Structures are given as structure tokens and as C-alpha cells.
Amino acid sequence: MSKTIKISLIVVAAIFTLVAVGIGYVSTLISPEKLTQLLISEVRDSTGRELKISGPVSLRFFPGIAVSAEQVSLSNAAWANQKDMARLEKIELDISLLPLLSRRIEVGSVALSGLDLYLETNSSGKGNWVMGSAESSTASNTTASASSDSTSVDGNAVLIENVDLKRSRIYYRASGAPERVYGIPALSLQKSGNQTLVGADLKQGDLNIVLKGKMSSIREVLSKMGKEPIDIRLDLEVALSGKPLQLAGTVALDPNKQSQFDFSLKANAFDLSAFTGKTTSAASAFHIISPSFANTKPARSAERLFSDTPLPLKLVPEANGKLDIQIGQLVLPNKVVLNQFVATARIDRQQLDVPNVGFGLGKGRFDGSIAVRNIKAELPAWVFKGQAKGFTLEQLLTSTNAKGKVTGGDMRTAFDLSSSGASPHQIASRLSGQSQITIGNARIASGFLNQGGDALITIFDAINPLSQKVSETVLECATAYLPVKNGTVTIANSIGIETDRLNITLAGSVNLNTELINVAIYPTEKSGLTLGVDLANLVRLQGTLTNPQVGINKEGVVNQALSIGLGFLTGGASILAQNAEGIVNKAHPCREAMRSWDSVYLGP
């Protein structure tokens, strides 16, 4: 053996001996008890919270530093409901040894099991994850940290390559809202070259979410985040209860600029009906009250159609960017199929714009837009515009029990509406603008009961003024022009319906703030068809949007109505009867109710 090789072997052996001696010496200086106290002190100084380690702590110093701890908890904010913000059954860290010589902390892997994380916000919107002491210390220690950089480990140099999370749950409660629980049976982030492979199994209620794909290296992200610009690339398959979506795009983070993002969400087909329960038939809410209650203001329903729960606008990120959505076939919860669904959403500071929402329905097409201004304000401003044409009533109801009972019915609709508010109720109560819908010739089976909640269809279905039984009603046309101002829909004979037996005009109002309905329905019999029954005395729609009712003003008219088989239903709305004397009957209700389409919708 040459002299050079011998010397090299001796040097290597000496180095290993020194390292072994050093590790042995360090292990005598750093005991699990000392490490525990060090961690508790560091967390308290950094966050103002108390770290508690009730279980055993173990250390290993070769070939790297391995730390494990059990029964770990982190205290919560003083105002929070739970005592602890986080509880953890076990944590295991593998820390590379050599990078510590360069004052860098490189965590080869982090394994967490049995994590329970409790997140909540208070009445002012502050989250319990905001650590007050950390915020104050960041500002006060800026100068000190700069001066001591040469003697301390760089706080941003903690690098993680692999993460493994098992049997964990996140509990989230927004102020005044019920708690939501999100299960994380498994989450894995594993290094693969210059990327990180992502795998996750998530659960929320009955909804299972499976993620798999890749992203930019989490090691690189942690090394640059907050220090220099970085582009984080994602390419994931997101499966919701087995229904896959492709999510891909980039997030650009820059400590000196507002974040930017550009994402696309694509799927060949996606079925939303898999995530919803069965709808309740409108007929289940149909009932009749006695004449004594006909003019009584109904009590406020325990459930409103328009919720007072604020929309999650505060979750809209403080960033600029866009999201493109393309779904070949989108199945709605009521089984209506939308073809070639596309939407583009853009966020720019305090504005959220969806300039293009489009989809096919049957042979028709819908195109619309939504704009929200000042999304973080107390009352954000909203604009809704859209139009649809080329589809039929039959296509719209193809998924309900109307299949085979409704044929034809060419439809067109348009709307141009604006409002302000943070909740559906606020938006509805401030709504202004106009909308219009028309339906052409259709045939509706007399036994049809609509479950889809469409008021016009169920009214058509129930009209049958003849004494003899008929198998169907022929709808010749229907027009509804609905102007709304400050949450009140005014119907000035602007809803007209014509069947082969009746002409019908509606007049009244709907208050979207109180949700009270007050609409009179004036049917006019066509010559020789109704055996002389005075239909103008029969009906008035009132109650609330969630608790519509039927009352009769004249008991004699009740018997007349029953004898001829005349009934009225709405999709969740019942009809009251009231004297309609003095109302001028319309010869052509549809034509007289209709406004020009250009006056309703001028385009985006």
C-alpha cells in the first residue's frame, strides 16, 4: 500500500474519530430535558404561546439528528373557545448534521401523527393563528436581528424536504357560525429531484378529497419565501368523491410586490349531484289556510330563503390573478346537464370580476357576468348580467319527474341587476334592475307536480277550469317582466300567461327584504270553455318565500273551484284567493307584459 493511501486513511479515520467524540460530547451536553426547556422557551419568545410536551422526548445524533416527542400541545389565544390551538400525538424530525456547521437547518423529514388543529375567528375577524407576540417581536427585533446575523442561525434557513401527516383533523369555526371539521387521514410531501410529489387524502363530512400530483420543491420555496421572488408551480389532480379535476398553474410570490396567480381548472365531466341530498318536493310545503287567516301577516319563518350568513369574501386572497374553468359536462345537483361550461375569474386588489360565464343547455346557450367591487368593505357592490336563449322548458326539466309530462316550450331570459351587501339577504334587500323570461308553446300533463321549484311551470300544470277531466294543458305563451328597486319586485300586470283555456295576468309585489309576497292572479276564461265560473274572484299569492300559503276570500268560490278541478301550485309558493273586481282583463297578457330585450339587457 502506497504511503499516500496510508496517510489518507489515517486522516479519514481521525476525522471520524473526532466526529464521534464530538457527537458523544454534545450528547452529554444536550439532554432531552434541556432540549424540551429550550423548545418551550423559544416558542414562548416567538409566539407568546405556551408549548407543552407531556410525553417522552428522545434524541439521536448519528448519522443525523433525530428528535421525537409525544403528547405535544400549543396554547390558544386568550379569547378562543379551546384551551389549546393544537394537540399532537407524536412528532418526529430528522435534521441533517453537516448543514448546521453553516448555520443552516435542513430537516430531511417531518412526521406528524394525531394532529388536532383548532382554528377560529373572533367577532372582529381576527384568527387565533395570528400570534401577537410574534408580530410585535418582528418589528422590534428587525435591527437587532440584522446586527446579530453573524452569530445566529438564519431564521429563514430552515429547510424541509419531506412531510408526512397522518390521522389528523382541522376544526374551523368562524365567529357566529357552526364548527366545520376537516379530516386528514394522510398527507405526504416527498422530494423528487427538483420537485415535490404531493399526495393527500382529505375528508369533510361525506365528501372525500384526494390530491395527487407535483409542485415546486418545498425546500426551495422555504429557502426563498419572504426573501426573494419565487414562482410556485402546481400540477394536481383533485378528485372529489371520485370525480377528478385538473388544477394547474403558478403562484408568484415577491416580498416587495403583491402576489400574482394564474390557474386553470379543467375536467371532461363533473357531477355536482354526487355531493347533495335529495331535494324536497314543492308539494310538501303546499297547504291551505282558512279565510280568517287570509289577510294576516305571516310570522317570520325560522328559515329565510336569503341567508344572513356573510359570504366568504374575506377569504378572497390579497393578490392579483385569474382562474380559468373549463368543464366539458357539468351536472348540477338537480341533474340538469350543462355542456361546455366555461368561466374566467379575475382578482385585482379590491375587485373580483367574472367577465365570462357560459354554458350550453340543450341546443341553447347562456352567457353572463358577475362583478364585485370593494370586496373587503362592509357592503361590497355587485353587478349581475346575463342572457340565455335557444333552450326549452322540456330540456330544463328533463331531470325531474316532469320528464315525459312537459314537451316543447322555447325559452329566453335576460337580467341586468345591481346591489350591495355582504350576505345573500343584504344583496336581495338592496337589489335593483330588471329581468325577463318568456316561454313559448308547450304541452303540460295535468298530473305533473314540479319538484324543481319553478313557479310558472307549477301554475301551468294545475290550471284546469273544465268540469270534465283533461289529460293536459296547452301553454300558448308566458311572459314575466320583473323590475326590482331597492329589493321590491313590482308586478304591474307584467306577468302574463295564455293557455288554450285561460288568459292570466298577475299584479302585485314581492319584498325581498321581508320576503313577503302579495300578488293577485286574474284569470279570464276563454269563450265557452269554463261554464260561466267567475274565475276573477279566485286567487291571490301571499305568505313568505319560504312559507307561502293559500287562503280563500269567498267560501262559495272554493266550492266552485273544486267543482271544476281548478288548482294552483308554485315551486314552494301557494296561492290565495281574493276578489279581483275592477281589474281590466288583458286580451293578450303575454304581449302586453313583454318589454323589448334590448331594454332589459344591453350586453356585458
pLDDT in tens, 181-207: 999 999 999 999 889 999 999 988 778
* pLDDT level of residue 479 (50, 70, 90 thresholds): very high
* pLDDT level of residue 298 (50, 70, 90 thresholds): very low
Last residue of a domain, one of 375, 403, 419: 375
Please give the pLDDT value at position 43: 76
- Domain co-membership, 98 together with 76: yes
Does residue 132 register a pLDDT over 60? no
Q: Please choose, from the candidates 67, 63, 60, 57, the residue with its C-alpha nearest in 3D space to the C-alpha of residue 97.
A: 63
Question: Count of domains in the chain?
Answer: 3
What would the mean pLDDT of 520-546 be, rounded to a whole number? Answer: 63
Domain of residue 186, residue span = 24-125+155-224
Query: How distant, in Å, are the alpha carbons of 111, 116, 210, 221, 414 from that of 164?
Result: 5, 15, 15, 18, 51
Residue 155: in which H helix or E strand, if any?
Answer: none
Please give the pLDDT value at position 62: 65
Does residue 447 register a pLDDT over 80? no
Does residue 457 register a pLDDT over 70? no
- Domain co-membership, 119 together with 186: yes
Q: Average the pLDDT over each of 18-22, 246-250, 475-479 and give the range with the smallest value.
A: 18-22
Query: How distant, in Å, are the alpha carbons of 269, 337, 360, 417 from that of 329?
Result: 5, 7, 9, 28
- What pLDDT, in 10s, does the model give residues 93-125? 887 766 666 666 677 788 889 999 999 988 887
Please give the pLDDT value at position 35: 65
What angle (nearest 5°) sits at the alpha carbon of residue 438, between those of residues 433 and 440?
175
* pLDDT level of residue 344 (50, 70, 90 thresholds): very high
- Using omega within 30 degrees of 0 as the cis cutoff, is the peptide bond preceding 185 cis? no
Does residue 491 register a pLDDT over 90? yes
Give the C-alpha separation, 292 to 269, whole Å.
53
Residue 534: in which H helix or E strand, if any?
Answer: none
What would the mean pLDDT of 395-412 be, rounded to a whole number? Answer: 75
- Domain co-membership, 218 together with 269: no
DSSP string, 359-399: EEETTEEEEEEEEEESTTSSS-EEEEEEEEEEEEHHHHTTT
Please give the pLDDT value at position 337: 85
Please give the pLDDT value at position 197: 94
The answer to whether residues 194 and 218 touch, using CB atoms and an 8 Å cutoff, is no
| Average pLDDT of the chain, as a whole number | 75
Q: Average the pLDDT over each of 289-298, 320-329, 503-512 and give the range with the smallest value.
A: 289-298
Q: Average the pLDDT over each of 369-383, 458-472, 496-510, 522-536 and give the range with the smallest value.
A: 458-472
- Domain co-membership, 440 together with 390: yes
Count of CB atoms situated within 10 Å of the CB of 233:
13
- Domain co-membership, 248 together with 165: no
Please give the pLDDT value at position 595: 93
Give the C-alpha separation, 338 to 359, whole Å.
6
Does residue 555 register a pLDDT over 60? no
Last residue of a domain, one of 375, 391, 420: 375
Please give the pLDDT value at position 22: 46
- Domain co-membership, 529 together with 496: yes
- Domain co-membership, 217 together with 328: no
* pLDDT level of residue 283 (50, 70, 90 thresholds): very low
Does residue 29 register a pLDDT over 90? no
Give the C-alpha separation, 249 to 344, whole Å.
14
Q: Average the pLDDT over each of 56-65, 77-86, 379-388 and give the range with the smallest value.
A: 56-65
Residue 19: in which H helix or E strand, if any?
Answer: helix 3-29
- Domain co-membership, 114 together with 159: yes
Has residue 361 been placed in a domain? yes
- Domain co-membership, 544 together with 521: yes
- Domain co-membership, 121 together with 30: yes
- Domain co-membership, 419 together with 364: no
- Domain co-membership, 268 together with 396: no
Q: Average the pLDDT over each of 282-291, 308-317, 512-521 and give the range with the smallest value.
A: 282-291
- Mutual orientation of helices 132-140 and 32-47 as an angle, nearest 10°? 80
The answer to whether residues 392 and 408 touch, using CB atoms and an 8 Å cutoff, is yes
Has residue 447 been placed in a domain? yes
Does residue 49 register a pLDDT over 60? yes
Has residue 305 been placed in a domain? no
Please give the pLDDT value at position 539: 63
Please give the pLDDT value at position 91: 87
The answer to whether residues 79 and 103 touch, using CB atoms and an 8 Å cutoff, is no
Q: Is the pTM of this model over 0.75?
A: no
Does residue 597 register a pLDDT over 90? yes
Structure-model confidence comparison of residues 397 and 10, the more confident one? 397
Sign of the dihedral through C-alpha 415, 417, 421, 422: positive
Please give the pLDDT value at position 445: 76
